[in-house]
Amino acid sequence: MNILVCISSVPDTTSKINFTENNTKFDANGIQFVINPYDEFGLTKGVMLKEKNNAKLTAIIVGEANVEPVIRKVLAIGADNAVRINMHPSDSYSTACAIANYIKDNPFDLIIAGKESSDYNGGAVPGMIADMLNIPFLNACNGLTVNGNEVELTREIDGGIEKISASLPIIIGGQKGLVEESELRIPNMRGIMTARSKPLEVLECNSAPLNHSISFDKPESKGECKMISSDNIEQLVSLLHTEAKVI
């Protein structure tokens, strides 16, 4: 079985988000980039399937040379080889095109992306790839078991979960539940050493975007927090009822 995990390099979750060049560009100055948190669940799931089902695990990332530390970390965690498509991922569509083009030349049985990346929150890449390759797709997957050519999946729906069975190939957008938080793999010394000699192929692509990012602004900051004494909860309820009008 051939598995592909799609990896996005995103600012560390504690990052302060700022913009430069007249608020048109994300300010990467001083920002630590990490594996997109949703992709970590898919990556660990891929490593587990590799160990159990003897699968081959490839990781793909779309980005310029500055994303290499993140993809090296993915190799250290357990991917066998990696591919970097050397282009700036300027929107979901051009990113999906780049990945779909690679898959057309190099077929995979199971493609695992994250349900969204925590920077632009588009949540669109796996669904677009599904259309480009004309294969089944499920998003917000929180459970996956593989049995030969068959897969059983659960996906989150509003207010519950849905259980689905399908045949490979399939693409999923994953999240917590694919594996548990406590199962997430982190690189160990041996992994880091072997990652240095694992293949990292760099390919060119220049797919065109559909969307154009124009500028950024930050949400207005809230006013002061009104403090209420714990002996006067009646006042809190009255403020929520008459001032904020939310209860």
Partner 1 sequence: MSILVYTESWEGKFRKSSFEAASYANEISQDLNTDLFAISFGLVAEEELSKLGEYGVSKVFSFPNINKSDNYNTTNFIAEYAKDAKAIIFSNTFTAKMIAPRLSSKLKAGLMSNVTTKILDTNNFKFKRQAFSSKALETVSTNTEKAIITISPNAFEIKNNNISCEIITIEDKLESQFNVIGSETNSGKISLSEAEVVISAGRGLKGPENWGMIEELADLLNAATACSKPVSDIGWRPHSEHVGQTGKAVAPNLYVAIGISGAIQHLAGVNSSKVMVAINTDAEAPFFKAADYGVVGDAFDVVPKLIEEIKKINN
Ligand X SMILES: Cc1cc2nc3c(=O)[nH]c(=O)nc-3n(C[C@H](O)[C@H](O)[C@H](O)COP(=O)(O)OP(=O)(O)OC[C@H]3O[C@@H](n4cnc5c(N)ncnc54)[C@H](O)[C@@H]3O)c2cc1C
- Give me the residues that bind ligand X (CB under 6 A), please: 13, 37
Q: Based on the shown chain and the rule CB under 8 A, indicate whether residue 237 belongs to the binding site for partner 1.
A: yes
**What does 19 bind: partner 1, ligand X, none (CB cut-off 5 to 8 Å by kind)?**
partner 1
Nearer to ligand X, 13 or 221 (CB): 13
Q: d(Cα 52, Cα 50) in Å, to the nearest integer?
A: 6
* Minimum CB distance to ligand X, residue 40 (Å): 9
Region 143-172 residues binding partner 1, contact defined as CB under 8 A: 152, 155-167, 170
* Minimum CB distance to ligand X, residue 24 (Å): 27
Q: Based on the shown chain and the rule CB under 8 A, indicate whether residue 196 belongs to the binding site for partner 1.
A: no
Q: d(Cα 3, Cα 166) in Å, to the nearest integer?
A: 16
Q: Based on the shown chain and the rule CB under 8 A, indicate whether residue 213 belongs to the binding site for partner 1.
A: yes
**Residue ranges with strand state E in 87-191:** 110-114, 137-147, 150-157, 160-167, 170-174
Q: Is residue 8 within 8 Å of residue 119, measured between CB atoms?
A: yes
Q: Which of 98, 86, 87 is nearest to 129 (CA)?
A: 98
> Euclidean distance between the first and final Cα of the chain, in Å?
54
**What does 170 bind: partner 1, ligand X, none (CB cut-off 5 to 8 Å by kind)?**
partner 1
Q: d(Cα 85, Cα 201) in Å, to the nearest integer?
A: 8
Nearer to ligand X, 18 or 118 (CB): 118
Nearer to partner 1, 66 or 213 (CB): 213
Q: Based on the shown chain and the rule CB under 8 A, indicate whether residue 30 belongs to the binding site for partner 1.
A: no
Q: Which of 89, 83, 126, 127 is nearest to 105 (CA)?
A: 83
Nearer to ligand X, 14 or 242 (CB): 14
Q: d(Cα 98, Cα 7) in Å, to the nearest integer?
A: 13
Nearer to partner 1, 112 or 124 (CB): 124
Q: Based on the shown chain and the rule CB under 8 A, indicate whether residue 28 belongs to the binding site for partner 1.
A: no
